[in-house]
Homo-oligomer: A and B are copies of this chain.
């Protein structure tokens, strides 16, 4: 078996260190989730609550539909993708705060599919107006056990930035509560190099907490 396929087969991953700041991410960096096997019952329970259409609820109806057999709601695939990212795929310290993104379902998710997720850093974009934060854009692909893509998601997450000492002095006070709408279509992306060289003598935890509250 070729190396690439064996890698996919075993879901071998480096366990990445926790990401705290936008600058901890590098373009091209990849994250791999664990797997989740979806059952027909799960598909029906989700559909019953959120997408009650015959082809998501009933094998017989699905057979005479465009799907040919039972298919999960695309929103179910999306929700499971989020679960895999949150529980194993993307170790972002302050949480995965989504602004939105672009989603496509090239093929349906089926009962018995073993789903796994790969997330690749596409770009990091510091906020133009708020120096303490930025947007990380990930290309997130959800695969089935045949290595076919069942979902493609370009996902924008909000992350705090690692402030320099001079930035910390110039920012009078971190900004108030959530206000994200204006930032989605921001600036052309500027890639920030990782700044693992910035050391702050153990203040980072406290600062991170400040920023988490203030973002």
- Please list the residues of chain A having a beta carbon within 8 angstroms of any beta carbon in chain B: 46, 49-55, 64-68, 73-76, 78-80, 82-83, 86-87, 94-108, 152, 158, 177-178, 180-181, 184, 212-213, 215
Distance to closest chain B CB from A30 (angstroms): 22
Name the residue on B nearest A69 (C-beta): B177
Besides A51-B86, A66-B212, 10 new A-B residue pairs in contact (Cβ under 8 A), listed by A number: A49-B79, A52-B87, A66-B97, A67-B177, A68-B177, A74-B98, A75-B75, A99-B105, A106-B181, A108-B178
Contact present for B96 and A53 (CB under 8 Å):
yes
A/B interface sample: 8 pairs, CB < 8 A:
A66-B177, A68-B178, A74-B100, A75-B79, A76-B79, A100-B103, A100-B104, A100-B105
Name the residue on B nearest A98 (C-beta): B74
Copies in the complex: 2
**Cα-based distance from A97 to B96 in the complex (angstroms):** 28
Name the residue on B nearest A68 (C-beta): B177
Question: With A100-B74, A181-B107 known to touch, is A82 a contact of B212 (CB < 8 Å)?
Answer: no
- State which of B46, B52, B64, B212 has its C-beta within 8 Å of the C-beta of A65: B212
Contact present for B86 and A53 (CB under 8 Å):
yes
Residues of B within 8 A of A50 (CB): 79-80, 82-83
- State which of B65, B95, B96, B181 has its C-beta within 8 Å of the C-beta of A95: B65
Distance to closest chain B CB from A180 (angstroms): 7
**Cα-based distance from A44 to B138 in the complex (angstroms):** 26
Residues of B within 8 A of A107 (CB): 178, 180-181
Contact present for A95 and B52 (CB under 8 Å):
no
Residues of B within 8 A of A78 (CB): 75, 78
Residues of B within 8 A of A104 (CB): 99-101, 181, 184
Name the residue on B nearest A100 (C-beta): B104
User: Of residues A86, A100, A181, which shows the largest number of chain B Cβ atoms within 10 Å of its Cβ?
Assistant: A100
Contact present for B64 and A212 (CB under 8 Å):
yes
Residues of B within 8 A of A177 (CB): 66-68
Contact present for B100 and A102 (CB under 8 Å):
yes
